[in-house]
A and B are shown apart, each in its own frame.
Chain A
Amino acid sequence: MHINYKLQDKFDFSIFIPAVGLIIFGLLAIYSSTANHPTASGNFQKQLVFVLISLVVFIITFSLPLQTFKKFSIALYGISIFFLIAVLLVGKTVYGAKSWFGIGGFGFQPSELAKLGTILMLSYWLTYRSRDINNLKDIGVALAIGILPVILIMLEPDMGTSIVFLIITISLIFWSGISLFGLFVVLSPGVVAIVSIMGTYAFIIALLFVVAALFFFKKDLFNSLTVFVINLSSGFFFDYVYKILKPHQQNRIASFLDPMADPLGAGYNALQAKVAIGSGGFLGKGFLHGNQTQLRFIPQQWTDFIYCVIGEEFGFIGSLLVISLFLIIFLRLFKLSAIAKDSFSVLVTIGVLTLMFSHFAINIGMNLGITPVIGLPLPFLSYGGSTQLMNMVMLGIVLNIYKNRKLHT
């Protein structure tokens, strides 16, 4: 017991073990969905290699001095932005998005690196000595740090990932103690923009709410007008963006509204995923016995729709176990955010939590038909080397933060 206690003091098993559990579930699901597949049958072995490599990288990041991350945050962010620009110029197009570098046999997604870069950079900037998060200029810089990769990733275009960056940015600014007015300034343009797709009347009503809110905050005329103009223009801007979206992306938004309307089109995956999960029942159809999975009714199931393999073959019990493992990790990270030794560590922890949770929520939500079909991998489970690697790097960093929580410098 004594040894165990000491070990637990240095290494948080309640984060690590659930993560390993999820990785094992992921490997099983990848095996099940690709075992007899004509083109993807090698994916299980590949994923196994990714997992082993990422474990090594995990140990490295866990062992590094904690200050390293703070020191390299600006450099890492710079490299990330460089790669994000480079991939737009020389990247490889996969599934309609220019988001990959091909290096030898393996591909690499710079947006994965940028996740770490952006979390570290934002944490660094927001916790730098005399920062006032309620100063419009400081908010502006923080937003700029977060929005730059959002725009670059939108250009690939990879909607899902850019949404994640946006959520991380808002989450970290929020955590830093932004005032209600500040939060309003940050969030209202986004809300207005989304409402604007619903039609002109919805857009006007949203703007009226903005005006009402501005009266409520009783700021001076200049600030109020500025915020209003930002809202107005964001609506028009988003409408413009919606129109320049690729048809398959417009379809995805439309198909969320009624997945039954076009069962063989864009809503097909969402519908088949629901059928797979629903037909799993309480105990599931058994490993390798899900007909939706084995008969390949869900294309590319080993990536974004990995959760429905579990839903179908392991049933309610398996599905519940997987999301419970996630819940343990999230609550553990949440607790870590309270005990980390400095505010930089806290923000990094919150950033990792936000990143993993937003991936989780968007992916599971899509599989369960709660949220629109937005292609995002499920952390630890989905097939993919870059994602696996970055998740383990982040796990290494947060466990490193845990290890160093009591040290005072």
Chain B
Amino acid sequence: MNDNHFGSIFRRRIIYVVIVGFFALCVIQLFNMQILQQPVYSEKSDENSVKPIYQLAPRGIFFDRNHKVLVGNKPSFTLRITPSNYDTKLTPYIEAILGMSPGYIDRILKANEAYSKFIPRKIARDVSFKVIAWYEENSSKLPGVDYVMETQRDYSFGIGGSHMFGYTKEIPLGTYQKRKSEYDIGDEIGFNGIEKTYEDYLRGEKGINYLLVDSRQKTIGRYMDGGEDQQAVKGADLILSIDKEAQRVAEEAFKDKRGAVVALDPTNGEVLAFLSAPEYNLEDFAKVTSNEVWRELNTNPDKPMFNRASMSTFAPGSTFKMISAIAALEEGIIDTNSKINCAGGYQFGDRYFKCLHVHGSVDVEASIEKSCNTFYYSLVNKLGLDLWSKYSKKFGFGAKTKIDIPEESGGIVPSTEYYNRVYGKNGWTRGFVISLGIGQGELNVTPLQLAQYASLFANFGKSAHPHFLKSYVDTKTKEKYDVKPQYFDIGISKKSFDIIRRAMYLVVQGAGTATNIRLPDIAIAGKTGTAQNPHGKEHSIFVGFAPYDNPKIAIAVIVENAGFGSTAAAPIARDVIKAYLKKDKKEEPKNLEVSQLAEGANNAH
């Protein structure tokens, strides 16, 4: 066969076809890859080597109603450890330079084990410049350790406000998994208080710097010389309704006491002061919170983490007498002429309910002014549980006030249905109801509810849901947006309010239980109360408003274990009222241009 010899034409052709054929295949593949699919590969190549570095946005700043800074920002250094590169032999040195006890770093690394080991862990925030200098000198010997400059909350503006402001912390794993598109691991998120409610305003937009990295993720330079970078946008600043001076006075007064103060603008529900004492130090949460701090806060018998102002519930005592009075007036059960004789107590069935004094003949006005119990034992008996409970609820008790922080309790207003549920249909008697008349028994209210209650007397049953946020300033547009209060009217006649308000006026200005807080230039109206406390000395309570003719502030103060309302709570209420109104007279809120406000915000970083 001609084909089967050395180097035959047939064999030559096969070799030729293989060579040229493979060449053609290569050309086709090159054309396909470099011309047709070039965009796809280019994108992959960029993804490979361009690494986005996120810049945290500074959070929005809190201003008070007069545009004074309440909470600002400051730059701080955060030391981080990336476990994938980290050598645990370094731990003792780093702990020593940070002044942390042994085991500190180990605990943080253990707590974050669920995250990828390539993600840096924040070991300590707000580390001193000395530590950073030490790091810079030794960085080559500290693999997996680095630091970033962040902004951190600055609380050095003279007030605490821990329970209303709240704090931020690293996003918990559960929250992160729900909001993956918005947050990255290690981001700060508002954890409670205003920081939590207005998280979406406050957090701003992260900036992105695009870096060129090599295959070992080592930075080589900036991508497109920074042309594609995006600046971080600071979060919106919040203008809160808080009056810094009133808040400061309240905090001062509660330095060594436990209790709460809530002051509202009765006309629109703006919170003027909000204090739960004792406070905790927000600074402790601005850093990575050490276990020691946590343990101390959680085991402290004074429970500093507990937001008393909107979460603690107690029986409001005599401050609640106005409920029965106004209900009876509205329902026509009594009028201003209705009188009762107080012989020092009230006999109901086989039980005798005591009054503090022998008041003699008492009308509704005197019953509030002098705080006569006998009048109310009798009155609530006439009123009946259901009406009493209906009016209690009208004034906002037994339900949350919808204030704009997440920490709030609704309290309890007993009703027929409530007693039936708790004691069974026949397990309770009308005797249960008698003590409700003087605000004792199973009635549970919060200081915030009492402040709202005072507002409603101050403003004839009209007010708005309590809220902290007056307005916010959009960082990009510098535009100020006002928050519209949510108004409501509980629908009680002016006539009834006039009677009760007059009586509350006399409590301070007449011959009542709180004449000790009378001021020469400000007419305060109010009501004292003493809450029975099964665990110790009674709580001292005061609710009130001022000025009487044109109320601008309504307030509730509770001082735990301090006895009578007139002695402990009322003077604090007076001081806060004075601080707010005096200043209010002197300097009207500065009419700052919004742009100036933004300037101020920048300076307050």
Chain A interface (Cβ within 8 Å of chain B)? Answer: 134, 171, 174-180, 272, 274-282, 291-292, 294-297, 299, 311, 315-316, 319-320, 323, 326-327, 330-331, 334, 337-338, 343, 346, 350, 353, 357, 361, 364-365, 368-370
Closest partner residue, chain A, to B40 (CB atom): A278
Residues of B within 8 A of A177 (CB): 4-8, 11
Say yes or no: is B45 at the interface (Cβ < 8 Å to chain A).
yes
Residues of B within 8 A of A292 (CB): 45, 48-49
For the complex formed, measure the closest distance between the CB of B220 and the CB atoms of chain A, giving whole angstroms.
6
Range, interface on chain B: 35 or more
Residues of A within 8 A of B41 (CB): 274-275, 277-279
27 inter-chain pairs at a CB distance below 8 angstroms, sorted by A residue, are A134-B4, A175-B7, A177-B5, A177-B6, A275-B45, A276-B45, A278-B40, A278-B44, A278-B45, A279-B41, A281-B34, A291-B46, A291-B212, A292-B48, A295-B48, A295-B215, A299-B215, A311-B34, A316-B31, A316-B34, A323-B30, A327-B20, A331-B19, A334-B19, A346-B7, A350-B15, A357-B19
Residues of B within 8 A of A179 (CB): 4
**CA A334 – CA B19 in complex, angstroms?**
10
Residues of B within 8 A of A279 (CB): 38, 41-42, 44-45
Say yes or no: is B187 at the interface (Cβ < 8 Å to chain A).
no
**CA A74 – CA B30 in complex, angstroms?**
42
Determine, out of B21-29, B347-355, B525-533, B578-586, the stretch whose residues face the partner at the interface.
B21-29
**CA A134 – CA B1 in complex, angstroms?**
13
Chain B interface (Cβ within 8 Å of chain A)? Answer: 4-8, 11-12, 15-16, 18-20, 22-23, 25-27, 29-31, 33-35, 37-38, 40-42, 44-46, 48-49, 212-216, 220
For the complex formed, measure the closest distance between the CB of B279 and the CB atoms of chain A, giving whole angstroms.
51
Known: A177-B4, A295-B215. A368 touches B48 (CB 8 A): no
Cross-chain contact A277 with B44 (CB below 8 angstroms)? no
Known: A176-B6, A281-B34. A291 touches B22 (CB 8 A): no
Known: A177-B5, A275-B48, A291-B49. A368 touches B33 (CB 8 A): yes
Residues of B within 8 A of A315 (CB): 34
Closest partner residue, chain A, to B50 (CB atom): A291
Cross-chain contact B12 with A338 (CB below 8 angstroms)? yes
Cross-chain contact A296 with B34 (CB below 8 angstroms)? no
For the complex formed, measure the closest distance between the CB of B464 and the CB atoms of chain A, giving whole angstroms.
58
Residues of A within 8 A of B22 (CB): 357, 361, 365
Residues of A within 8 A of B27 (CB): 320, 323
6 additional contacts (CB under 8 A) given A316-B35, A319-B30: A174-B11, A277-B41, A295-B215, A297-B214, A326-B23, A346-B7
Residues of A within 8 A of B212 (CB): 291, 295
Residues of A within 8 A of B19 (CB): 327, 330-331, 334, 357
**CA A275 – CA B183 in complex, angstroms?**
31
If over half of A's interface residues share one DSSP class (helix, strand or loop), that class is named, otherwise mixed; here it is helix
Report the 8 A-B pairs with minimum CB-CB distance, sorted nearest first: A278-B41, A279-B45, A295-B214, A278-B33, A316-B34, A279-B41, A279-B42, A281-B38
Residues of A within 8 A of B5 (CB): 177
Cross-chain contact B33 with A323 (CB below 8 angstroms)? no
Contact of A291 among B12, B29, B45 (CB under 8 A): B45
Residues of A within 8 A of B12 (CB): 334, 337-338
If over half of B's interface residues share one DSSP class (helix, strand or loop), that class is named, otherwise mixed; here it is helix
Residues of B within 8 A of A134 (CB): 4
Residues of B within 8 A of A350 (CB): 7, 15
Contact of B29 among A299, A331, A370 (CB under 8 A): A370
Contact of B23 among A175, A278, A323 (CB under 8 A): A323
Cross-chain contact B34 with A319 (CB below 8 angstroms)? yes
Residues of B within 8 A of A343 (CB): 6-7
**CA A337 – CA B9 in complex, angstroms?**
12
Cross-chain contact A337 with B35 (CB below 8 angstroms)? no
Known: A177-B8, A368-B26. A297 touches B215 (CB 8 A): yes
**CA A403 – CA B13 in complex, angstroms?**
25
Cross-chain contact A368 with B8 (CB below 8 angstroms)? no
**CA A275 – CA B15 in complex, angstroms?**
32
Cross-chain contact B6 with A327 (CB below 8 angstroms)? no
Cross-chain contact B23 with A291 (CB below 8 angstroms)? no
**CA A274 – CA B38 in complex, angstroms?**
10
Closest partner residue, chain B, to A323 (CB atom): B26
**CA A369 – CA B42 in complex, angstroms?**
17
**CA A176 – CA B5 in complex, angstroms?**
7
Residues of A within 8 A of B48 (CB): 272, 275, 291-292, 295, 297
Cross-chain contact A295 with B220 (CB below 8 angstroms)? yes
Closest partner residue, chain B, to A174 (CB atom): B11
User: Which among A275, A299, A327 has the highest number of chain B CB atoms within 10 Å?
Assistant: A275
Cross-chain contact B34 with A368 (CB below 8 angstroms)? no
Contact of A277 among B23, B33, B40, B215 (CB under 8 A): B33
**CA A246 – CA B119 in complex, angstroms?**
34
**CA A330 – CA B22 in complex, angstroms?**
12
Residues of A within 8 A of B34 (CB): 277-278, 280-282, 311, 315-316, 319
**CA A368 – CA B33 in complex, angstroms?**
8
Residues of A within 8 A of B49 (CB): 291-292, 295, 297
Known: A280-B34, A295-B212, A370-B29. A275 touches B44 (CB 8 A): yes
Residues of B within 8 A of A297 (CB): 48-49, 214-215
Cross-chain contact B30 with A277 (CB below 8 angstroms)? yes
Cross-chain contact B30 with A368 (CB below 8 angstroms)? yes
**CA A331 – CA B33 in complex, angstroms?**
26
Residues of B within 8 A of A178 (CB): 4
Known: A278-B37, A281-B35, A295-B49. A334 touches B26 (CB 8 A): no
For the complex formed, measure the closest distance between the CB of B67 and the CB atoms of chain A, giving whole angstroms.
50
Cross-chain contact B15 with A334 (CB below 8 angstroms)? yes
Residues of B within 8 A of A337 (CB): 7, 12
Cross-chain contact A175 with B42 (CB below 8 angstroms)? no
Residues of A within 8 A of B45 (CB): 275-276, 278-279, 291-292
